Amino acid sequence: MAKPKKSDRTDRQKVIDDIRRKQRRAGNRQGTVIVTICVIVAVVIIGAAAYKPIKGWIDNQKYRGKSLDQIGAAASVCKPVVTRTATAAQQHVPEGTTVTYDDAPPAFGKHWNVPGIAPAPIDQRFYTASDTLPLEVLVHNLEHGFTILWYDDTAAKNSTFMDQIQAIAKDLDANDTNNRLSFKAVPWTSKDIQQIKGHKTFPAGEHIAFSHWTAGGNNKSLGVWQYCSAPSGAALADFMNKYPYTDAPEPIGGAAMSQ
């Protein structure tokens, strides 16, 4: 058998070296792809975490320096105020009891009485479905003079509406003195609807409701409502001026947190 020529060995070595170089290049490319993917994933995760705070900051700037009546739609998006004779002042039921209310949303009725819980403290003025309060708690806030803005599921899915509602809550918080702007904004959920007689909800086309419990004068306690198709700081300002916390059956307002 003939011995391989030196040139043949050299050619084979070149082939082997070429294969090894290709393998190294392929390995390097694979490593680069993996690193790139990891970087992209990290950027996406960091971006997602930063999105909400950044968006919240940007959204806040839209309403910076605006007064309450400049936030949201004009007052004309709201229907006229309606009232109904109220009952159950100072009528407490045990914590955990489910109360069925006549109106959507309630403006008066039986409620829980738990120090520090019902009525809820004024500190938090804006709520979402993940941290909202039972109706029996909110009704006790109403008895103490709070005005509540309720927003339905349609409004909850509208980012512009939600920005406006949060801006309204922040404005009332920043400008409150002596509990005079006792206010909460809360979602009107499917669970709430189940507690309303006949499972009633807001009138067709209306996605926002204000409610308040007023002593009314002449021993005539009243529930007060106003429905709106969109958030309106102007309408809310008029509503709260006409029905301040001081006209409630027990006008304690934000100080109610320990009652």
Specify the pLDDT at position 77: 98
Specify the pLDDT at position 208: 98
Specify the pLDDT at position 15: 63
Mean pLDDT for each consecutive 10-residue tract of the chain (259 residues)? 61 68 70 71 62 54 86 98 94 96 98 94 96 97 97 98 97 92 97 97 98 85 97 98 94 66
Q: Is-contact 111 140, C-beta < 8 A?
A: yes
**How many Å apart are CA 225 and CA 106, to the nearest integer?**
9
Q: Is-contact 193 201, C-beta < 8 A?
A: yes
Ramachandran class of 71: left when φ > 0, alpha when ψ lies in -120 to 50, beta otherwise: beta
Q: Which uninterrupted H or E stretch holds 19?
A: helix 6-62
**How many Å apart are CA 87 and CA 254, to the nearest integer?**
22
Specify the pLDDT at position 62: 78
- Global pTM value: 0.77
What residue ranges in 136-221 does DSSP mark as E strands? 147-151, 183-187, 208-214
Specify the pLDDT at position 212: 98
Specify the pLDDT at position 53: 55
Specify the pLDDT at position 70: 97
Burial 115-134 (b: 16+ CB within 10 A, else e): eeebbbebeebbbeeeebbb
**How many Å apart are CA 223 and CA 245, to the nearest integer?**
13
Look up residue 82 and give its two tokens.
């309606």
Q: Is-contact 73 230, C-beta < 8 A?
A: yes
